[in-house]
Structure 1
Amino acid sequence: MESGQVFADFIYEYFLKCFQFQRYRCGDVLPSINTCCKKFNVADQTVKSALKQLRKEGYISVQQGRPARVIFQQTEEQSNRYIRQFFSERWNVFSDLCQTIEVVFQPLLIESFRRFDESDYDILSPFAEQANIENIIHFYCFVLQKMKNPLILNLFWECLLFLGFPYISDRTLEYYSAEIAQKRLQDIIRTAKTGEWQRLDEFLSAFWREFVAAASNSIEPYLLPIPADRQITFVWRIYRGRPQICYNLATRIMYEIYLGRYRGQQFLPSYEKLAEEYRVSVNTVRRTIRLLTQLRVTLPISGKGIRISSLGDSTEQPDLTVPAIVRNLALFFQSFELLLYSCENVVRSTLSSLDQEEKSKMISQLKDYLDAENCELAPWCILISAAMRAPLQGFREIYANIYGLALWGYPLKASQGKYPAVDDKAVWLTESLVKYLAADDIESCTAAFKEFVSIALPSIEKYLNLFGIEHAELQMSPSARKYYQTISMTDV
């Protein structure tokens, strides 16, 4: 995470929900500012800003030289009502998202354990010995930090926040057993140390399913009858605050330029028409088009309009002095690592769910890519299919965002032309998908896609390095790594 008002708002919302869930009750002392800085990886001024807002609204008292204390009062009935409402509004997708977490993160956890050394286990073990809810979350986050991929941790945290797990206390989960959780986590650590990866996979599945079952059994009896139109759907907030709108709009416009209704056109509609179409302000459209111009996707021409750089057009190099562009290119790289370790189950389940007509359409589309020598679109074809037709809503949300981030990488390639390391493999992937889909060989399709991503990932990193985007910019910040590597039980 970063410092700033956006993250002060996040910390404010986090503590507010903790109060409403009675994780912190009236009279409880909040963690110190130093501990909060480590917990959220932000500057002390960011934490102070959040605490100032909580104090202003009467939730906490803050006295010079003393830790903040909760003064918010609510009855047990009021808290229970809030908790019931929170889970009732999410219940339609609760099971879906829990299944998504297991499928997406289990391969990432195993890969993270592969990167462990003995000192990592020394830090991890205390979380297993005191297996309360908060320590279980720290257990998972510490393991996943070995990937050094902030996007992966962002997704994990957003999933947990949606489910409400960081807010609930052990007393909320009636069927949860810290003793059983302790044994399960110790089994996981012991198995990871011996490198029994198949067995580790089984232990991770068993623990997660037991935990989810305990949560479901505790929550379900208290659910309220919430109509379907009032149910909340999981949304992966990669960006927080105002950038979310601008970056998402940029992604949507790029999709329409490359594959949608603007494809083949020379100019975009006016700012006013775009604002009306996407239901945003004209100023938001102007900021977005400015960013797309710096990315070399568009070019406003006085008196004519906004010229489009379409698929296959040669362009100038994106302006890599713009932090937003570098940030999104880093996320593009990070999304491919997430894709590499999650694609096997997601792509398999997606392609297996397609009927014969849908498979035939995909084959026809892939053949068109071969004929037009646009094989770089074949991976996009799979991502779009997963975003639209994957059996779990969580899969669809995650893969829609991975595809959106992939769009940010295209203009850099368009400025340089061919990149054989990836282009040749894309041709092979396209031919393989046509062959295996026609034979209804889903396993081979899945294996081919994963092989392509495994080749593309290091190639993308090398490509970004050529343009001055260093390895350190593509990974978790040193301050975040330091936090996860030094966290101890006294910090929790």
Structure 2
Amino acid sequence: MKTQSELNCLVYDFYVTRILFGYYSYGDSLPPMQKISEYFRLAVPTVRTALKLLEKEGYIEISAPKAARVIYQASGKDYLRNIARYRSARKEGLLDMRQVNRLLLAPLLNAGISAGDESSLKDRWKKMKDNEFDGMSVSIGLYTSALAYLDNYLIMNFYWEMNRYTRIPYMLGKLEALEEIIEKLDTLPKEEMGVFLTEELESVYMNVDKILNKKIQSEYPKLLDGQYPGIPFEWNFYYKRSQIRYTLGAKMLQEILYGYYPIGSYLPSLPKLAEHYGVSVATIRRTIDFVAGYNIVKSFQGKGIQVCLGKEDVTASQEVVRLALKYFLDGMQFVALTVRPVCRYTLKRISAEELDKLGQFLLTICERKKEYLLLDIFLTFIAERCPSPAVGHCYLKILKCLVMAYPFTLFQMEQAEFDRIYGEMIRQTIHNIEGREIDKITDGWGVFFEEQERYFREAARNLTYDRYNWKVKLPIH
């Protein structure tokens, strides 16, 4: 199965799963291309690319103007073997998805439902109840309808990536349990919908999980013993920019902020950078071009590549600049909505010594007048110590989005205002660590990220733009 980070792969993964796992049989027709486009809210050309890939690999046959027809032939045992092999390689990761659901997806779902008006939500869900569910699992429809109200690319992408990994929602069709959930939703007030939906769908997934495991255990017990290399959950969301280029750019910026490459100094040669990051010289060259769009570095003929972060304006002539700001705002909202459960879950499971380390890290950056490292220090600490590997992975991914926007935020905010906001947060956190007040730490960071998200969204609305420069004018509190 493909794992590329392209939009057409969302469609590909959905239908290849349903074909290999037995939802569709030989001779069945897929929904019309236009209908698939509506299901996924993707352009018809994107859907066409996915279907052509399915045809190329021998799963379907496309005969326009008719709907694509399944030509993959398999028996019931073949389908079960496909499921067993897939799940065997993801055994630990699938267990961890329960924590991802509770710590990340549940608060995001609640926020989406809260953002929508009650009549609109119930109208959408009534349409699902009245329609046939051949094209897409009703559980996916419920989630995407609610999450769409947040208008957040990263959050919606995160949900799809979860589905791509677990595959269980892809296998569900018109189950009686799902129809009962929709019936119940019609009777609930908006504030109760999120909790109900999270708990009920988790129950449905767990029941399907048990049934699958029981069948696999009886037919292919060895395939559940982890004979395939483990595949952890990985979130890829840079559809419009090379994943490695964005990741390397964020890492380079982090090293600049930590003083590994001081502002005004020159970077090592391209071959040495390639060796340091373990990539090719060509990749380093593309990454340098990428970060130069933010004026993080600047090339001088005969001298080299100089670190100039904060010395010049950030230009808006490249899409990369606008994309980074979009990712930053989406990432801030993602953390603001999830940091309370993630923080509480993590801090209540680490030792007192580890908690004291966090306090020492924060004290150190305060003493060195590097308060701008606060978000990086805190989120890295939580991500690396979170008992859920997948949740930690997601937070490290989001951190890359926050890092790439430092040129907009850290060096254009009034220094006194910055020191007040971040310095106070550091002192408050250290005080609560010393008192072992986990709930106060958690709530404090929840409020902090909520305020930061509002702060920078307001800043984005107050952008001034001319042909060459795009400057962030931050409001003074």
Aligned residue for 1:480? none
3-state SS in 1 of match to 2:279: coil
Stretch of structure 1 that moved more, 295-304 or 28-37: 295-304
Q: Distance in 2 between matches of 1:179 and 1:157?
A: 24
3-state SS in 2 of match to 1:230: coil
Aligned partners of 1:421 and 1:459 also within 8 Å: no
Deviation digits for residues 99-126 of structure 1 (CA, Å, limit 9, x no counterpart):
2112212222222222332133111134
3-state SS in 2 of match to 1:190: coil
3-state SS in 2 of match to 1:299: strand
Aligned partners of 1:383 and 1:402 also within 8 Å: no
Aligned partners of 1:376 and 1:427 also within 8 Å: no
Shift of 1:445: 0.9
Q: Which amino acid aligns with 2:138?
A: N
Q: Which amino acid aligns with 1:362?
A: L
Aligned residue for 2:475? none
Aligned residue for 1:232? 231
Q: 1:449 to 1:392 in 2, by over 3 A?
A: same
Q: Are residue 444 (structure 1) and residue 440 (structure 2) matched?
A: yes
Shift of 1:373: 3.2
Q: Distance in 1 between matches of 2:36 and 2:210?
A: 32
3-state SS in 2 of match to 1:136: helix
Q: Distance in 2 between matches of 1:41 and 1:255?
A: 35
Q: 1:336 to 1:228 in 2, by over 3 A?
A: farther
Q: 1:37 to 1:80 in 2, by over 3 A?
A: same
Shift of 1:272: 1.8
Q: 1:9 to 1:434 in 2, by over 3 A?
A: closer
Shift of 1:392: 0.9
Aligned residue pair count: 453
Aligned residue for 1:183? 180
Aligned partners of 2:374 and 2:426 also within 8 Å: yes
Aligned residue for 2:145? 142
Q: 1:204 to 1:57 in 2, by over 3 A?
A: closer
Q: Which amino acid aligns with 1:208?
A: L
Q: Distance in 2 between matches of 1:56 and 1:209?
A: 35
Shift of 1:188: 4.0
Q: Distance in 2 between matches of 1:101 and 1:35?
A: 29
3-state SS in 2 of match to 1:167: helix
Q: 1:280 to 1:192 in 2, by over 3 A?
A: farther
Q: 1:38 to 1:170 in 2, by over 3 A?
A: closer
Q: CA RMSD in A?
A: 2.8
Shift of 1:357: 2.4
Aligned residue for 1:47? 47
Shift of 1:330: 0.4
Deviation digits for residues 180-207 of structure 1 (CA, Å, limit 9, x no counterpart):
44334433443234x4x4xx56524431
Aligned partners of 1:27 and 1:69 also within 8 Å: yes
Q: In the TM superposition, what are the counterparts of 1:92-491 in structure 2 within 5 Å?
A: 92-117=92-117, 118-127=119-128, 134-170=137-173, 178-193=175-190, 195=191, 197=192, 200=193, 202-221=195-214, 222=216, 224-227=223-226, 230-240=229-239, 243-259=242-258, 261-262=260-261, 266-309=265-308, 314-418=310-414, 423-468=419-464
Ranges in structure 2 where 5+ consecutive residues have no aligned partner: 218-222, 466-477
Q: Distance in 1 between matches of 2:398 and 2:285?
A: 25
Aligned residue for 2:20? 20
Q: Which amino acid aligns with 1:106?
A: A
3-state SS in 2 of match to 1:231: coil
Stretch of structure 1 that moved more, 390-399 or 419-428: 419-428
Q: Which amino acid aligns with 2:211?
A: S
Q: Distance in 1 between matches of 2:208 and 2:124?
A: 27
Q: Distance in 2 between matches of 1:237 and 1:144?
A: 18
Q: Distance in 1 between matches of 2:282 and 2:290?
A: 12
Q: Distance in 2 between matches of 1:372 and 1:11?
A: 50
Shift of 1:391: 1.5
Shift of 1:387: 1.4
Aligned partners of 1:19 and 1:72 also within 8 Å: yes
Stretch of structure 1 that moved more, 156-165 or 261-270: 261-270
Aligned partners of 1:98 and 1:212 also within 8 Å: no
Q: 1:420 to 1:40 in 2, by over 3 A?
A: farther
Shift of 1:38: 2.0
Shift of 1:218: 1.8
Q: 1:415 to 1:450 in 2, by over 3 A?
A: same
Stretch of structure 1 that moved more, 324-333 or 224-233: 224-233
Q: Which amino acid aligns with 2:454?
A: P
Aligned partners of 2:168 and 2:205 also within 8 Å: no
Stretch of structure 1 that moved more, 239-248 or 122-131: 122-131
Aligned partners of 1:352 and 1:442 also within 8 Å: yes
Shift of 1:268: 2.7
Q: Distance in 2 between matches of 1:388 and 1:396?
A: 6
Deviation digits for residues 366-400 of structure 1 (CA, Å, limit 9, x no counterpart):
12232333323223222011110011112201110
- Taking structure 1 as the reference length, what is the TM-score of the superposition? 0.84
Ranges in structure 1 where 5+ consecutive residues have no aligned partner: 172-177, 470-492
Aligned partners of 1:370 and 1:427 also within 8 Å: yes
Q: Distance in 2 between matches of 1:121 and 1:183?
A: 14
Shift of 1:27: 0.9
Q: 1:143 to 1:13 in 2, by over 3 A?
A: closer
Q: 1:15 to 1:274 in 2, by over 3 A?
A: farther
Stretch of structure 1 that moved more, 207-216 or 265-274: 265-274
Q: 1:129 to 1:49 in 2, by over 3 A?
A: closer
Q: Distance in 2 between matches of 1:89 and 1:219?
A: 15
Q: Distance in 2 between matches of 1:17 and 1:306?
A: 47
Stretch of structure 1 that moved more, 249-258 or 10-19: 10-19
Aligned partners of 1:422 and 1:456 also within 8 Å: no
Q: Distance in 2 between matches of 1:422 and 1:131?
A: 54
Shift of 1:28: 1.1
Deviation digits for residues 58-84 of structure 1 (CA, Å, limit 9, x no counterpart):
332222322211122223222221111
Deviation digits for residues 20-62 of structure 1 (CA, Å, limit 9, x no counterpart):
1222221111111211222333332232233333334433222
Shift of 1:13: 4.1
Deviation digits for residues 258-309 of structure 1 (CA, Å, limit 9, x no counterpart):
2375468923332222223333322221111111111122223333332224
Stretch of structure 1 that moved more, 182-191 or 289-298: 182-191
Q: Distance in 2 between matches of 1:234 and 1:99?
A: 12
